[in-house]
Amino acid sequence: MDLRETEAEQAFRAEARAWLSANVPQGLPSGDTTEGFALHLEWEKKLFDARWAVVSWPEEYGGRGASVWEWIAFEEEYYRAGGPQRVTQNGIFLLAPTLFEFGTQEQQDTLLPRMANAQDLWCQGWSEPGSGSDLASLKSRADKVEGGWKLNGQKTWTTRGAFCTHLFGLFRSDPASERHHGLTYFLVPLDTAGVTVRGFARLDGDEGFAEVFFDDAFVPDSAVLGGVGKGWSVAMATTGSERGLTLRSPGRYTATVDRLLTMARGQALDDTDVQRLAQAWMDAESYRLFTLQQVTNEQAGRGRPGESSLNKLLWSEMDIRLHELALDLLGPEAELEGPWSKGFQFSLSGPIYAGTNEVQRNIVSERLLGLPRK
Strand, coil or helix: 51: coil
- Shortest spacing between CB 105 and a second copy, in angstroms: 50
289 contacts which partner out of other proteins, a second copy, none, CB within 5 to 8 A by kind? other proteins
In terms of CB distance, is 146 or 270 closer to a second copy? 270
Residue 355 beta carbon to a second copy: minimum distance, rounded to whole angstroms: 23
* 243 vs 97: CA distance, rounded Å: 7
Spatial CA neighbour of 230 closest among 263, 185, 273, 167: 185
SS3 at position 53: coil
Q: Pick the stretch among 43-51, 81-89, 270-278, 313-321 that binds a second copy (CB under 8 A).
A: 270-278
Q: Which is nearer to a second copy, 59 or 271 (CB)?
A: 271
Which of 271, 332, 370, 374: binder of a second copy (CB under 8 A)? 271
Name the DSSP letter for residue 25. P
Nearer to other proteins, 12 or 43 (CB): 12
- Do 163 and 34 meet the contact criterion of CB atoms below 8 Å apart? yes
CB closer to other proteins out of 120 and 206 = 206
Of the candidate spans 120-128, 212-220, 234-242, 271-279, the one that interacts with a second copy by CB under 8 A turns out to be 271-279
What is the total count of residues that contact a second copy (CB under 8 A)?
4
Which range binds a second copy by CB under 8 A, 51-59, 81-89, 199-207, 269-277?
269-277
CB of 369 to other proteins, least distance (A): 5
Decide if residue 275 touches a second copy (CB under 8 A).
yes
Contact range with a second copy by CB under 8 A, out of 89-97, 152-160, 182-190, 268-276: 268-276
Q: Which is nearer to other proteins, 138 or 187 (CB)?
A: 138
Which is closer to other proteins, CB of 39 or CB of 68? 68
Q: Strands 183-189, 195-200: parallel, antiparallel or unpaired by DSSP? A: unpaired
For residue 242, indicate whether it is catalytic: yes
Report how far residue 61's alpha carbon sits from residue 92's, in angstroms, rounded to the nearest whole number. 12
From CA 255, how far away is CA 22, in angstroms rounded? Answer: 18
Q: Among 5, 242, 317, 324, which one carries the catalytic annotation?
A: 242
Identify what 201 binds: a second copy, other proteins, none; CB under 5 to 8 Å per kind: other proteins
Q: How many CB atoms lie within 10 A of CB 81?
A: 18
Burial environment of residue 311 by CB neighbours within 10 A (0 to 12, 13 to 18, 19 or more): buried
Report the partner that residue 279 touches, choosing among a second copy, other proteins, none (CB closer than 5 to 8 A by kind).
Answer: other proteins
Taking the complex as a whole, how short is the minimal distance between the CB of residue 210 and a second copy, in angstroms? Answer: 32
- Is 1 buried (19+), middle (13-18) or exposed (0-12) by CB count in 10 A? exposed
Q: Which helix (H) or strand (E) holds 189?
A: strand 183-189
Q: Which does 18 bind (CB under 5 to 8 A by kind): a second copy, other proteins, none?
A: none
Identify the H or E element spanning 47. Answer: helix 34-49
Q: Are 209 and 199 in contact (CB under 8 A)?
A: yes
Stretch that binds a second copy, among 30-38, 234-242, 266-274, 278-286 (CB under 8 A): 266-274
Alpha carbons 180 and 275: distance in angstroms, whole number: 46
CA distance 31 to 33: 6
370 binds, among a second copy, other proteins, none (CB under 5 to 8 A by kind): other proteins
Q: Residue 267 or residue 275: which is nearer to a second copy going by CB?
A: 275
Q: Does residue 150 sit in helix, strand or coil?
A: strand
Q: How many C-beta atoms lie closer than 10 Å to residue 152's C-beta?
A: 18
CA 138 from centre of chain: 21
* Nearest distance in Å: CB 26, other proteins: 20
Binding mask 218-257 for a second copy (x = CB under 8 A): ----------------------------------------
Cα dihedral 299, 232, 365, 370 in deg (nearest 10): -80
Q: Is 270 in the site for a second copy (CB under 8 A)?
A: yes
Tell me the three state secondary structure of residue 280: helix
Which residues of this protein are in contact with a second copy, per CB under 8 A?
270-272, 275
Catalytic amino acids? 242
